[in-house]
Amino acid sequence: MKIVRIIRNVYSGLLVTIIAFLGVFLVSSLFSKTDYTSVFGLSFFEVESYSMYPELTKGDLIVVKKLDPSEYEVGMTVTYIKEGEKTSTTHKIVKIEGNIITTRGINTETNNADDEPFDVSCIIGKVVTVWHGYGNIRNFVTNPMGIISILIIGFFIIEGFNYLENYFKEKEKNKKLDNQA
């Protein structure tokens, strides 16, 4: 019975943590002065092209962390927004000359030349984590069938914990009755 309670508490804690993080992310995005949202020093982007294939593919979610400008190195995958542009780009650094950075996508079928050089201040950060297949999950949970499925699964998980807890309580109660007889 204690194990069921522990599992239920861990599940509930994880759910509350995810909801709290999403809440902070949403509030932060409402008050953000930039075209992207940063929470706890991390920014999140969905890859929208195949320029970094096979390392990154369309629909992947990347987590980007801001570094000190002196920490960027050739070979790092970074996300940046050039001055005057609204769309971010994620490519590998191929050259650094002072504060001027040159990047390039790694997909040799679509990228035959380096990108236009830009100032290091345009870099949002280094890619630190990739969630492959995020786009598929996002598509599922944002359609009506996905939302209904998640609600039903959540309901059955919670009810399953309640059933197990009641089952073990009843079993313990019966054991006490048997011992008294």
pLDDT of residue 158: 82
Q: Decide if pLDDT at 33 tops 70.
A: no
The b/e string for 42-70 (b: 16+ C-beta within 10 A; e otherwise) is: ebbbebeeebbbeebbebbbbbbbebeee
How many CA atoms lie within 13 Å of 24's alpha carbon, on the beta-carbon side?
11
- The average confidence (pLDDT) of the chain is 86
pLDDT band at 139 (very low <50, low <70, confident <90, very high): confident
Q: How confident is the model at residue 22 (pLDDT cuts 50, 70, 90)?
A: low
